């Protein structure tokens, strides 16, 4: 699907670099099909060394003019400047993919002064290790083919799910911010072990592997988490004692409310833009 497409990453920072690496490693696109921009020319030189054949430039308009797909991967505070740079060179055939949190497809079209096909995507930082969870949403002018093309880009670094655009703030609250919640869980589990006398370095390795192993079990067995939990819960045993304690302290409510708080925050921030 991407074989004949050219792609520009405007704002080639962490996430864009992960996507470029994933696409090239996966053989989905050749380096010479990709353009990368940022303001720092030295960082661009380093990128060109990492991916021989990649086109780099500090000029957003130059990259957007010669590519079929333009991926907006700058921080939200730089978006007005970048869209201003490219508004004269994009055409109705240009597909826009935006990974900026809280900026709607309608506002991107408004800033560009054209009704272009825009697909929004919300990846998360595990993209850097090819284990991202990404949700993509088609804007009002995007067709199925644009959704599919965007899906191919993000599949290069992990899992992709399609959602309607109104759910993008909720996705930010769940998987966008989610890695931070799990890092806290790992820290807390480690402290639990240390509290019982396990050396910190050992407790930390056991905690992180437990989270990784539990996630892998769910993915590979495709079983509901409640079933997997029941399978390790002996009546009157140790796991049940811990579960009763977690329930008493409202573990589920805590996570439900945390996702709610992050979603509300994402919504409030997007209304400011």
Ligand X SMILES: NC(=O)c1ccc[n+]([C@@H]2O[C@H](COP(=O)([O-])OP(=O)(O)OC[C@H]3O[C@@H](n4cnc5c(N)ncnc54)[C@H](OP(=O)(O)O)[C@@H]3O)[C@@H](O)[C@H]2O)c1
- Would you count residue 37 as binding ligand X (CB under 6 A)? yes
**Do β-strands 34-37 and 95-98 pair in parallel, antiparallel, or remain unpaired?**
unpaired
User: Minimal distance in Å, beta carbon 77 to ligand X?
Assistant: 8
List the one residue from 56, 67, 73, 263 that touches ligand X (CB under 6 A).
73
Q: Which of 272, 270, 252 is nearest to 262 (CA)?
A: 270
Say whether residue 270 binds ligand X (CB under 6 A).
no
Instruction: Work out how close the CB of 34 gets to ligand X at its nearest, in angstroms, rounded to a whole number.
Output: 15
In this chain, which stretch among 45-53, 123-131, 216-224, 234-242 interacts with ligand X, using CB under 6 A? 123-131
Comparison of 69 and 101: residue with beta carbon closer to ligand X: 101
Torsion-angle region of residue 11: left (phi > 0), alpha (psi -120 to 50) or beta?
left
Tell which one of 78, 107, 210, 233 touches ligand X (CB under 6 A): 78
Q: Both tokens of residue 235?
A: 């009546």
- Judged by beta carbon, residue 124 or residue 190, the one nearer ligand X is 124
Q: Which of 36, 122, 30 is nearest to 76 (CA)?
A: 122
Site string for ligand X, 169-208 (x = CB under 6 A): -------x--------------------------------
Pick from 8, 9, 11, 117: which binds ligand X (CB under 6 A)? 11
Q: Which stretch binds ligand X (CB under 6 A): 78-86, 140-148, 221-229, 240-248?
A: 78-86
- Three-class DSSP labels, 20-62: HHHHHHCCCCCHHHEEEECCCHHHHHHHHHHCCCCEEECCHHH
Residues in 140-169 that interact with ligand X by CB under 6 A: none
CA angle, 272 as apex, 96 and 86 as ends, to 5°?
30
Q: Which stretch binds ligand X (CB under 6 A): 13-21, 163-171, 218-226, 257-265?
A: 13-21
Cβ–Cβ < 8 Å for 103, 81? no
> Which class for 150: exposed (0-12), middle (13-18), buried (19 or more C-beta within 10 A)?
buried
Q: For ligand X, give the closer residue by CB, 75 or 223.
A: 75
Question: Does residue 57 bind ligand X (CB under 6 A)?
Answer: no
Query: In terms of Cα–Cα distance, which of 161, 105, 97 is closest to 132?
Result: 161
Does position 40 interact with ligand X (CB under 6 A)? The reply is yes
Is 76 a binding residue for ligand X by CB under 6 A? The answer is: yes
* Beta-carbon-side half-sphere exposure of residue 254 (alpha carbons within 13 Å): 10
Which of 184-202 are b and which e, b meaning 16 or more Cβ less than 10 Å from the residue's Cβ? eebeebbeebbeeeeeeee
Among 1, 14, 25, 206, binds ligand X (CB under 6 A): 14
C-beta of 127: minimal distance to ligand X in Å? 8
Q: Tokens at residue 119, please?
A: 């697909």
Of 56 and 193, the one with the shorter C-beta distance to ligand X is: 56
Cα–Cα distance, 160 to 62 (Å, whole number)? 30
* Interface residue list for ligand X (CB under 6 A): 10-11, 13-16, 37-40, 43, 60, 73-76, 78, 81-82, 99-101, 122-125, 176
């Amino acid at each position: 699907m991407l074989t004949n497409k050219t792609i520009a990453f405007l704002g080639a920072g962490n996430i864009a670099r992960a996507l470029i690496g994933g696409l090239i490693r996966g053989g989905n696109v050749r380096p010479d099909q990709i353009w990368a921009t940022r303001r720092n020319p030295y960082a661009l030189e380093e990128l060109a060394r990492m991916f021989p054949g990649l086109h780099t430039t500090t000029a957003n308009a130059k990259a957007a003019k010669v590519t079929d797909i333009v991926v907006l991967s700058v921080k939200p505070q730089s978006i007005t400047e970048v869209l201003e740079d490219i508004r004269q060179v994009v055409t109705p055939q240009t597909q826009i993919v935006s990974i900026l949190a809280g900026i709607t497809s309608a506002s991107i079209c408004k800033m560009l002064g054209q009704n272009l096909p825009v697909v929004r995507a919300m990846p998360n930082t595990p993209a850097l290790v090819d284990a991202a969870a990404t949700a993509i949403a088609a804007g009002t002018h995007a067709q199925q083919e644009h959704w599919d093309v965007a899906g191919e880009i993000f599949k290069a670094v992990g899992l992709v799910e399609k959602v309607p655009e109104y759910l993008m703030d909720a996705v930010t609250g769940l998987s966008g911010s989610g890695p931070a919640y799990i890092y806290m869980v790992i820290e807390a589990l480690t402290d639990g072990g240390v509290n019982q006398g396990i050396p910190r370095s050992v407790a930390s390795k056991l905690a992180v592997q437990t989270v990784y192993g539990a996630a892998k079990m769910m993915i590979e067995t495709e079983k509901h988490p409640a079933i997997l939990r029941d399978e390790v819960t002996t009546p009157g045993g140790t796991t049940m004692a811990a579960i009763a304690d977690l329930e008493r302290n409202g573990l589920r409510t805590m996570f439900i409310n945390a996702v709610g708080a992050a979603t509300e925050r994402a919504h409030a921030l997007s209304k400011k833009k």
